[in-house]
Chains A and B, each alone.
Chain A
């Protein structure tokens, strides 16, 4: 789960990590008031769950409270499009107003979990400001990676000192830098973060170290033990279809930008259905793993979500019944068609447990489904159906296109 920069900075302050003075504003006049409190000259930072704000016009400076209010009025209520947001951007409902600082250096500091070592890893660099991916490809020699042995009962100061010296800081900055690094580590561990990133970590002209930016992601699986963190979730920043899916008990739905909806059981299988669609010349509209719970309502809810996605032109249901039983899935498909108007052709490929019973349910339902036996055949048919259904879906003169036989659509 992601949170906003201003929320992350409140957590930073709790762990002794210095941050610029500032507060969050939700209206233009509030932004002006905060700017006045801070002495006039401020930075205004749009609060969205995405990076790349600077280049996208989401970070601006103001010389006076009046100017701050004016800039805030221009940002609030709009959507900010950065290279990390969806094409239609993310809503700006809050702005962080902060003191403007004169800086002499921009550094990079982050903590993630390294899955192959199974330990936290601190990444630090003298070259801050740019994205870490860019940094890794342009100047990998400037990156200091430090694995933290979980056997050290608490974070040991020498690790922080080693990183601080590695960043070529001035002698009097080593102690505060080490304190900052250890604070970030304690925060990371105490709150079950999956990412803690300060980019840039700045040294001001008067020699102070501050977290100019703050990014925290949390382990979704651990949120149950951090209710205060869970309460920081801002669903306005998430895709509304994904929020809706979560509400319907389908946590594993990701909206994508293609036009072929998929309903699959299993994450790996869902990914490979997406891959096979791509090979067949199509583009998936979503990732969706209905899981292994044997409940036809899951399938019905999956159809509800796909029906709400206006980009969907055809749907591919690919279920390999292991834990999931095919008769339950088939019942779900039939119920979905009874309960709502399905406006797209549906390609169904089923295999595994209770297949015969499932087949019987589908054939007795009389539904006009496009059937496929193999993975690839299903993908080809879903792509062909999406292409043919397009003019149909505009004119709206039917509920489902007929299966024209066993022809190969590729």
Chain B
């Protein structure tokens, strides 16, 4: 089993005729994902790479192809509009890869999505992969292997790195979700944890957080209440000075809660095992499986 994406995905690619869109649509198809439609306003009617029909609007694409999910490679100034268009057509999940969307645009998107049964992943993320089943993202498939560990991460490269290390020692993943590095994202750790907890195919969860915001503390509160599966975590940015933005728009320590140490403390307090380096994660996951012990105790 897996979360978010599997064989039932009929994927629409918004921005399919652009460089990024073309490159990664090919990658998704190679992985076995069913890419049923593309949307590029003004280019409707063409057949992309002689295999995928392109439409002018999402509405039209959905009507003709029964697409049920979207991946967005639209430049930042137009990306929020693309998310609205996909949400308006009730596609879910919507995976937005685009980096650099203005925060106020994302506030509007988040408000619009509130109360709707539409899941947005990202923006500024590598997407989602359920190894062996489906890839809706830009990650390199070789790092992943089918299995039972769920991975969720604010950082794309760290998610690859950790997945590759798990794969190397034979531990596969149910689903790896790149949540995105922006301050306002569609799906947070809490929601990813909830999905992994409910998924019978996920036995252990890896959380990869970073400085900035309070998403890890919120995850800790949720884990305490609802998560019985073992959780291991790494928080990037212990060595980052306050007030400086570390690449990701959301990775900036503006208050005490945003510090890596505070996040580690909150997670450790609910029984999550904290890795000091991403390289420790695979061993933590392995020991929980080999010895049948929990990474997280139920005492809390």
Contacts and interface: CB of A to CB of B under 8 A. Distances in A.
Contact of A320 (B164, B188, B243, B277): B164
A279 interface: yes
Given A192-B104, A279-B277, A272 B236 contact: yes
A320 B210 CA distance: 18
Nearest to B252: A194
Contact of A224 (B77, B155, B237): B77
Contact of B247 (A270, A277, A283): A270
A268 B102 contact: no
Given A118-B110, A279-B277, A322-B140, A267 B102 contact: no
Given A225-B77, A321-B140, 5 more contacts: A267-B247, A269-B157, A271-B236, A274-B240, A323-B140
Nearest to A219: B103
Interface in B107-125: 107-108, 110-111
B53 interface: no
Given A113-B184, A219-B102, A351 B246 contact: no
A116 B104 contact: no
Nearest to A253: B247
Contacts of B254: 112
Contacts of A256: 241
Given A268-B158, A271-B251, A352-B143, A278 B277 contact: no
Nearest to B161: A320
B104 A189 contact: yes
B211 A271 contact: yes
A221 B103 contact: yes
21 contacts: A115-B184, A115-B214, A115-B215, A115-B250, A150-B108, A194-B103, A219-B104, A221-B101, A222-B102, A264-B157, A266-B155, A269-B157, A270-B247, A275-B276, A275-B277, A278-B238, A287-B240, A287-B246, A287-B247, A321-B140, A322-B140
Contacts of A150: 107-108, 111
Given A221-B101, A271-B240, A277-B239, A266 B140 contact: no
Interface string A184-210: 000001001010000000000000000
Given A115-B215, A194-B103, A322-B126, A270 B246 contact: yes
Interface string A120-160: 10000000000001001100000000000111000000000
A352 B102 CA distance: 32
A323 B138 contact: yes
A368 interface: no
A264 B158 CA distance: 11
B230 interface: no
Contacts of A267: 155, 157, 181, 210, 246-248, 251
A119 B110 CA distance: 9
B213 interface: yes
B139 interface: yes
A133 B140 contact: no
A221 B183 CA distance: 12
A222 B140 contact: no
Q: Contact size class for A?
A: 35 or more
Nearest to B160: A322
A375 B240 CA distance: 18
Chain A facing B: main interface SS:
mixed
Interface of A: 84, 112-113, 115-116, 118-120, 133, 136-137, 149-151, 189, 192, 194, 219-222, 224-225, 252, 254, 256, 264-272, 274-279, 283-284, 287, 289, 320-323, 351-353, 374-376
Contacts of A120: 107
A331 B44 CA distance: 40
B218 interface: yes
B156 A268 contact: yes
Given A113-B107, A268-B208, A352 B160 contact: yes
B140 A276 contact: no
Nearest to B249: A221
Given A133-B256, A271-B251, A272-B277, A266 B157 contact: yes
Interface in B237-288: 237-241, 243-251, 254-256, 260, 276-279
Given A113-B183, A268-B236, A269-B158, A84 B247 contact: no
Contacts of A266: 155-158, 247
B153 interface: yes
B29 interface: no
Nearest to A222: B102
B201 interface: no
B76 interface: yes
Contacts of B181: 267-268
B128 to A, nearest CB: 14
A252 B143 CA distance: 25
Interface string B168-191: 000000000000010110001000
Given A113-B107, A221-B100, A322 B215 contact: no
A136 B255 contact: yes
